[in-house]
């Protein structure tokens, strides 16, 4: 089995979004403590469920990103883009209603919008070859 790297520029952008998702998931899965510190979260002392949830979330990101890379189908890229678009929308709601107007939230919003835009621009044909 050969590794498939896209030849079209738009699909390369979608591929990069999936690769970043998989990399973030890998880091979240194997280094939940560092991920929590970066996001300003803290697992309660003596309760491993917090780390379990962080690892589980990382596993989901890793699986979703790797699925998009391995399958390289428009519908998978659309699901990836739509998922990040909804995550960005939820972050906007959090910024507006949870008094979460801080630099980290705005940076993560930009990342989520970019991760949503790259596959969606490809799927809907807005990128040129």
Does some domain include residue 45?
yes
Does some domain include residue 56?
yes
pTM tops 0.95, yes or no = no
Give the contacts of 72 (CB within 8 A, at least 6 positions apart): 4, 6, 11, 15
Does some domain include residue 99?
yes
pLDDT in tens, 67-100: 999 999 999 999 999 999 999 999 999 999 998 8
Does some domain include residue 3?
no
Cα–Cα distance, 65 to 88 (Å, whole number) = 17
Does some domain include residue 2?
no
pLDDT of the residue at 43: 81
**Confidence class for position 47, pLDDT limits 50, 70, 90:** confident
Cα–Cα distance, 28 to 16 (Å, whole number) = 18
Q: Which range of residues forms the domain containing residue 120?
A: 9-124
pLDDT of the residue at 17: 98
Does some domain include residue 91?
yes
pLDDT in tens, 7-19: 999 999 999 999 9
Does some domain include residue 101?
yes
Does some domain include residue 4?
no
How many independent structural domains does the chain possess? 1
């Amino acid at each position: 089995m050969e590794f498939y790297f896209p030849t079209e520029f738009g699909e390369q952008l979608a591929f990069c979004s999936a690769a970043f998702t998989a990399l973030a998931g890998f880091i979240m899965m194997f280094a939940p403590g560092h991920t929590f510190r970066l996001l300003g979260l803290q697992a309660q002392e003596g309760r491993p469920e917090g780390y379990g949830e962080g690892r589980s979330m990382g596993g989901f990101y890793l699986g979703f990103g790797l699925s998009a890379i391995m399958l390289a189908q428009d519908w998978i890229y659309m699901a990836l883009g739509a998922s990040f678009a909804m995550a960005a929308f939820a972050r906007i709601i959090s910024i507006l209603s949870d008094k979460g107007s801080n630099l980290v939230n705005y940076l993560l919003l930009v990342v989520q919008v970019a991760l949503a835009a790259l596959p969606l621009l490809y799927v809907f044909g807005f990128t040129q070859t």
